[in-house]
Structure 1
Amino acid sequence: MAFRFNFFIDENENNEADARDAMDLKLHSPKCTQESVEKNKQTSSPIAASSLGPDTDKQGAETPSKKKLCFKAAKEHDIPEDLDKVLENKVVERRWDLYYINMSVVEMTHLDDTDREGILSKSVSSHSDLIPGVYEGGLKIWECTFDLIDYFSEAEIQFTNKTVLDLGCGAGLLGIVALKGKAGKVHFQDYNSTVIDEITLPNAVANCIGDSSQMGSGGSGKTHEPPSKRSKKAECSPDALTKCRFFSGEWSEVSQLLVSSKKPFSKYDIILTSETIYNPDYYAALHDTLAQLLDKNGRVYLASKAHYFGVGGGIYLFEKFVEERNVFRTSIVKIIDKGLQRCIMEMAFKDSS
């Protein structure tokens, strides 16, 4: 099996890079025209395109827009029978007893546009971690992901036998933590199919077979994290993958696929999402997806920066948006003031117990 494991990450370097990236996010992609939107609706073609941009009020101030996004069709991704093949030519790193694919290596192996969407080469050529409507950042692990993982431990969030959705999953680490916590079902969703195939699914596989294979070749199996930071969650096994489903596509399209599927579907007890509220244009779609997929007594745990420079979104703007819809109650349960301020928000239906 041609893969190897690395076990050291410069956390400070990653955090500084995240802060720089948050400051530098720009809207690079061309605007969709109304004609292209209507054409998408008619053909249901899974093309990637950008949002139309924010609405403005009468004074010209930007406000979170109604949904005016181009559609990206939903798709369910099958789990290959040969799990070793999923990790072929991958470099796997480890943090807090979580294994995940080195994304830089994936980028290097796909610079010739071998991924069907072409997002890897576009991201590299444009020097951007975000091309709205084309590539939504899933090739990078954003720092709020680790904030939320910390919070699971601090708040003693219980995943046992729960049905969990990792929404906007990227690397899928939140869902993998739920899987290690003995969740009954874990579903993963990302905008880009390339992210699911090349990052999310391999990460899930690495966490389910890593320990049983003694880290494959070249890895010592030791973590460089101090004992207080090591995960106390149960380990996975290859059988845990039977609890998982993987989806790509725009949120409303994935919701429709789930509820109309012939496979049994029950609403989620827990929805996890990190750094998905950077763009106010997406708020309506996210809100409606949460309202459609969350169980009546379920909880959403959302991690975000207080503000995303260059894009305009952030936790307080989203909180105001949710309050105006009067569907969910919200509570900011943790604030992290290291670097750019970051927050954890809990959401539940107003009429839930």
Structure 2
Amino acid sequence: MSFRFNFFIDENENNEPETPDKTDLQLGSPKHKQESTGKSEQTADAVSDSSPRPGAAKHQDETPSERKSCFKAAKEHDVPDDLNKVLENKVIETESDLYYIKMSVVEMMCLGGGDEEGIISKSVSSHSDLIPGVYEGGLKIWECTFDLIDYLSEAEIQFTNKTVLDLGCGAGLVGIVALRGKAGKVHFQDYNSTVIDKITLPNVVANSIYKGSRDDRKVSQPPLKRPKKAECLPDVLAKCRFFSGEWSEVSQLLLSSNKPFSKYDIILTSETIYNPDYYSALHDTLAQLLDKNGRVYLASKAHYFGVGGGIYLFEKFTEERKVFRTSIVKKIDKGLQRCIMEMAFKDSS
């Protein structure tokens, strides 16, 4: 059943979330990142099992110097003044009691204009959801995203009044979980500005408007106009900041900004270690931005085929740096093995 407002909510007749089309919804990283990396993917429209990432072949043709020279300047994204336009003409779907916009609709809109980076047209023309240094897969929701969300609930991770970073956020679902957990501040970062503007920010707005369980929604249908709950949006969005750009550039922007900045109590990141070439930048970013007693929760495949990264390789890399202590706190053996890693400074309490 679909409900039409300025936007849509897609639900089936039982008001249970539809399983997204496996060719469109990817979780936590790009679809092609999965296809050659062994990532399971969900598009903003579907959930799928692991498969290799198409973009990997192109990546392997590049030299290390070419791969490492791809930097995207950091930018902070302002929240639009007119929030009514953020979800205009969008279709909203649900998964794990979270709302996210239907990516195929956004793709069609952006192909008609509005994608200044051109990442959607480039992704379509190259048949790849990963173009190193151009597009790093944030338009898809990857499988490990939901692994991390499940773990945060199972482990009863407390977000109340914490400062949280959703690093490599894509759809921003793990950061939204932190917001629901009453985090004091939640910052979202993705490589691509298009992802922040067209995906992350609308998802934060949607989840701020529609809260509660699926059972609640069975009792009363969504109103024809934006509900009064929308009045709370400024309060929710006041907790949020949105950034695009390469990790080291974003770190520099945060640390050199005139705006007040306190290091993060919790950093959440999913399927960001598929490429070993990025390990140094990721490690240094975590070291620079994490509070001395903070924690990192990282979700990953055990191994990403075609690219070579994976949880155990990153664990070894981190151990050699002797900055963090690491612990694999959960393993998921369904399909390709997936893991949740906790990281903390070696001298932390």
Q: What's the TM-score bracket when you normalise by the shorter of the two chains?
A: 0.7 to 0.9
Give the superposition deviation at 1:181. 0.2
Deviation at 1:114, TM superposition (A): 3.1
Counterpart for residue 269 of structure 1: 265
Q: Which residue of 1 aligns with 2:94?
A: 94
Within a 5 Å distance, the mapping from 1:148-187 to structure 2 comes to 148-187=148-187
Does residue 3 in structure 1 map to residue 7 in structure 2?
yes
Q: Which runs of 4+ in 1 moved over 6 A?
A: 30-33
2 CA distance for matches of 1:253 and 1:190?
12
Q: Aligned match of 1:26 in 56, 59, 62?
A: 56
Letter in 1 for 2:118: G
What per-residue deviation string (whole Å, max 9, x for no partner) do you get for residues 263-302 of structure 1? 1000000000000000000000000000000000000000
1:25/1:311 contact within 8 Å kept? no
1:228-265 alpha-carbon deviations (Å, 9 max, x no partner): xxxxxxx9941111100000000000001001111100
Root mean square deviation of aligned Cα: 2.6
Q: Gaps spanning 5+ residues in structure 1: where?
A: 34-49, 54-67, 224-234
Specify the SS of the correspondent of 2:238: helix
Give the conservation status (yes or no) of the 8 Å contact 1:31–1:51. Answer: no
Give the match's secondary structure for 2:217.
coil
Normalised by the size of structure 2, how large is the TM-score? 0.82
User: Residue 252 of structure 1 is aligned with which of 245, 248, 255?
Assistant: 248
CA contact (8 A) 2:10 2:93 kept: yes
Q: Is the 8 A contact 2:54 2:129 kept in 1?
A: no
CA distance in 1, matches of 2:75, 2:238: 18
TM-aligned CA deviation for residue 171 of structure 1: 0.2
1:136-285 matches, within 5 Å, as 136-211=136-211, 221-222=217-218, 237-238=232-233, 239-285=235-281
Instruction: Give SS of 1:187's match.
Output: strand
Q: Which one-letter code corresponds to 2:58 in the other structure?
A: H
* Contact kept in structure 2, 1:140 and 1:171, CA below 8 Å: yes
- Contact 2:50–2:335, Cα closer than 8 Å, also in 1: no
**Contact 2:77–2:242 (Cα < 8 Å) also in 1:** yes
Note the C-alpha offset of 1:12.
9.1
CA contact (8 A) 1:113 1:121 kept: no
For 2:330 and 2:173, the matched residues in 1 are separated by 20
Partner amino acid, structure 2, of 1:4: F
Helix, strand or coil for the counterpart of 1:221? helix
Alpha-carbon distance between aligned partners in 1 of 2:302 and 2:313, rounded to the nearest angstrom: 9
Deviations 1:18-65 (A, max 9, x none): 4454354524269789xxxxxxxxxxxxxxxx9634xxxxxxxxxxxx
Q: CA deviation at 1:11?
A: 6.2
The CA distance in 2 between the partners of 1:29 and 1:199, in whole Å, is 25
Q: Distance in 1 between matches of 2:129 and 2:62?
A: 20
Q: Describe the superposition over 1:102-134 as per-residue Cα deviations: whole angstroms up to 9, x where unpaired.
A: 111111111245301000111112111111111
Question: Within 1, Cα distance between the matches of 2:118 and 2:273?
Answer: 24
| Sequence identity (%) | 76
Question: Taking structure 1 as the reference length, what is the TM-score of the superposition?
Answer: 0.81
CA distance in 1 between partners of 2:274 and 2:218 (Å)? 35
Instruction: State the secondary structure of the residue aligned to 1:201.
Output: helix
Q: CA deviation at 1:184?
A: 0.3
Q: Does the CA contact (< 8 Å) of 1:32 and 1:70 recur in 2?
A: no
When residues 177 and 72 of structure 1 are mapped into structure 2, their CA distance, relative to the original with a 3 A threshold, is same
Residue by residue over 1:166-220, the C-alpha shift from the partner in whole angstroms, topping out at 9 and shown as x without a partner, is 00000000100000000000000000000000000000000112249x99xxxx9
Tell me the SS of whatever aligns to 1:271: strand
* CA contact 1:26–1:130 (8 Å) conserved in 2: yes
Q: Give 1:122's aligned residue.
A: 122
Q: CA deviation at 1:158?
A: 0.2
Q: CA deviation at 1:2?
A: 2.0
Cα gap change, 1:167 to 1:236, in 2 (>3 Å): farther
DSSP 3-state at the match of 2:294: strand
